Structures are given as structure tokens and as C-alpha cells.
Structure 1
Amino acid sequence: MPKKLIKRLMPDHQTIKKNKHLKIFGTLLHNANLWHLNRRSVSKAFAVGLFFAFMPVPFQMVLAAGFAIIVHANLPLSIVLCWITNPLTMPAIFYFCYLVGTWIIGVPTRKFAFEANWQWLVDSVSTIGPAFMLGCVVLATIFSILGYLAINTFWRFSVAKEWKKRKERRS
């Protein structure tokens, strides 16, 4: 059952409550519904976490936590799923976002080399920025919807399978 698997992989809620970056939410973190594992909260958590994983902004986890609180999604899962875009996966994912953005806008891709300075960032906002941001928003939306639907469907399938097993055992 997905609940047992998720519960095993999820961090302890006390650890998350003590996180220094999440203290801005104060007593909102004490809402018990943010820590429950059920089909709705987990599906929402996948939607929230996957959406913010594709957003190229700092403090993705804090934004995901805030939105999880608003929509009553499972808070730990929402935060953990942001780490799909980590330092190892981020270049490939964000380059794919750029390619999707250029395809949607209909502009050719530009060759660019990343430079870690302010001037490069300012220059690239006007050149590759629009396609990149559009690609990020589109893929964030698509993957959050797909994540929500996949988890919801998987959860329902697992519960139906368990009910069937239980019914067979009784017969």
C-alpha cells in the first residue's frame, strides 16, 4: 500500500517543525492535517512539490511549504518533492524547460554558456529568459497535474487491490 511506503520514506514531522527556514509559518505547522497520509493530501503534495520543483526560484521548499499549508497538502512530501531539482539534476531539467519554451514560442534555441556573475544573469533575462520561464511554468503545470493524477490513481488501485485480497481471504 502506498501509505506504508511513503510513511517509511518520509522524514519525522518533528524534524520538519524545527527547521529554521519553516519557523516563519509558526503555529500553522501544528495543524495535524498537514501530517496525515491519505489519498487527497498525498496527491496534493505531489502536485505542490512537483510544481515548485520546476520553478527556478530560491527557497523552493519554503514556497512549497506555504502553498501546502494553504491547500492542506501533506507538508513533508511537498517539501521533499522539491528536491527533484537538485544540483545534479537541475542543469538537465532547466535546459529541457528552455527547449520546451523555445518550442512553444517558436524561436530558435540560442547557444549560451553559463557564467556565475550578475552581468550574465541580467543579459540572459532578455535573451533566453522568456523561453526559459515559459518552459518552466508549462512543465511545472504538466508535471504537477500528472503527479496528482498518477498518485490518486495508484492509491485508488492499491486500495481496491487490498479490498479484493481481503474479500478473497474471507471467502
Structure 2
Amino acid sequence: MIKRFLPTHDSIKQSRLLRWLGPRIHDPSLWHLNRRAVAKGVAIGAFFGLMVPVAQIPAAAVVSLFARANLWIAAVTTLISNPFTYGPIYYFAYRIGSSLIGAPRSVATLSDEAAAEHAVAALAWMSNIWHWITGIGRPLVLGMLLMAVTAGVIGYLAAQLFWRTRVLMKRRRQRHARAAQAAQAALRI
């Protein structure tokens, strides 16, 4: 079903936009749907979908090139984080990170007078960045990293399990069909 949306190998070879990538872009595992390439694509996409807040698809595509993972699956899987899921993802990442670091669950905000002083100061942005990094940044980044690694591992294992289950079900249906044909053939004799 998904194969009809994927480009053909010839169209990839002919593409002027992809020529700069050289022979690596012609690796069959980047485009074919097989168990290992799809599982690696899901893991890479899940990792970059949760870890990198900007340029998720290009980052996943570059890593997919070197890991020989399915490029399309990696790109689509990065979409687990989108404008509708950013809030819950960042909230849970902060909660996880703050519980691991031992930071307070709520972030102290600057008072109105302190905010006005920082806005007037020429180097206030450095103070604000340092306050963010020490206040919310470390727990958030740690939580995002932990969630991204966990999602990558779970995604890889889930893709492997899903693929294996589909193969076993297909074999079971074929076995039952052969047994039914053999039984019908025996009844005809």
C-alpha cells in the first residue's frame, strides 16, 4: 500500500536535486521496505522527532543516509512532534528531567521590576539565557534526551515486532490455505 507513494529507483537516479549526495543516495536500503531499514528509520525518526525542535526531517534524513535506514519512514516518523504535541511533550520532558535532577517542579519567574531591569540592561539577554538554562533548560533538555532515546529504542523494537508478527500471520494463513487445499484434494479422490 505504501509502496505506491515511494519514488522509483530510476526517478531517484535521474533527480538533479539529489545528485549532490553522490552514490550514497542510491543505496537500496534507503528506499526499500525491509525489516531492518524500516526499524532503523522508525528509531531515527522517533529520536529526532522528540530531540531536535527545529529541522527534524533534515537531521533524520542525514542520519538515515549514514545508518542505511529507510529515508521516508525516518522523515515521516519525525512528525510525532508537531504543533499539537509540542506542549505535552515539553511538559513531560521537563517533569522527567526535573525529577531526575531534583530541580523544583515549578519554575520561578522574575518579578515585574526585575523583568524591567533586565529589559533595560544592555546584556540582559545573557542573564535571561543563563536563568533559562539553569532554571528550565537543564531539566527540559535532559527530559527530552531521555524521551528521545527511549522512543527510539521502543520504536525500533516495536517496528521489529510488528514486522515479525505480520510475517508470522502471513505464513499461518498460507499454511491454513495449503491444508484446506490438501483436505479438498483428499475429499475429491
TM-score (norm 1): 0.80
Matched, 1:142 2:150: yes
2-side partners of 1:61 and 1:23: how far apart? 19
Structure 1 runs, 4 residues or longer, greater than 2 Å off = 10-15, 22-32, 110-113, 118-123
CA RMSD of aligned residues (A): 2.8
Name the residue aligned to 2:167. Answer: 159
- Could you tell me which runs of 5 or more consecutive residues in structure 1 were left unpaired when the two chains were aligned: none
1:100: Cα distance to partner? 0.7
Matched, 1:127 2:135: yes
1:145: Cα distance to partner? 0.5
CA contact (8 A) 1:25 1:66 kept: no
TM-aligned CA distance change 1:167 to 1:86, over 3 Å: same
CA contact (8 A) 1:49 1:64 kept: yes
2-side partners of 1:27 and 1:112: how far apart? 53
1:67: Cα distance to partner? 0.8
1:32: Cα distance to partner? 2.2
Matched, 1:99 2:107: no
Larger Rg: 2
1:23: Cα distance to partner? 7.6
TM-aligned CA distance change 1:80 to 1:169, over 3 Å: same
Instruction: Write out per-residue CA displacement over residues 77-120 of structure 1, whole angstroms, 9 at most, x where no aligned residue.
Output: 1011111111121121111111110111121122378xxxx945
TM-aligned CA distance change 1:112 to 1:30, over 3 Å: farther
Matched, 1:170 2:178: yes
Code of the aligned partner of 1:65: A
Tell me the SS of whatever aligns to 2:82. Answer: coil
2-side partners of 1:105 and 1:24: how far apart? 44
Code of the aligned partner of 2:145: V
1:122: Cα distance to partner? 5.3
Instruction: Write out per-residue CA displacement over residues 10-39 of structure 1, whole angstroms, 9 at most, x where no aligned residue.
Output: 554769x97x7x786455323222001011
Matched, 1:67 2:71: no
Code of the aligned partner of 1:74: N
Higher relative contact order (CA 8 A, sep 6+): 1
Name the residue aligned to 2:27. Answer: 31
Tell me the SS of whatever aligns to 1:128. Answer: helix
1-side partners of 2:20 and 2:53: how far apart? 18
- Could you tell me which runs of 5 or more consecutive residues in structure 2 were left unpaired when the two chains were aligned: 110-123, 180-189
Instruction: Write out per-residue CA displacement over residues 130-160 of structure 1, whole angstroms, 9 at most, x where no aligned residue.
Output: 1111101101011111111111011101101
1-side partners of 2:156 and 2:28: how far apart? 21
CA contact (8 A) 2:6 2:31 kept: no
CA contact (8 A) 2:107 2:136 kept: no
2-side partners of 1:128 and 1:12: how far apart? 43
What is the percent sequence identity of the aligned residues? Answer: 33
Instruction: Write out per-residue CA displacement over residues 38-71 of structure 1, whole angstroms, 9 at most, x where no aligned residue.
Output: 1111111110000001113421111101111111
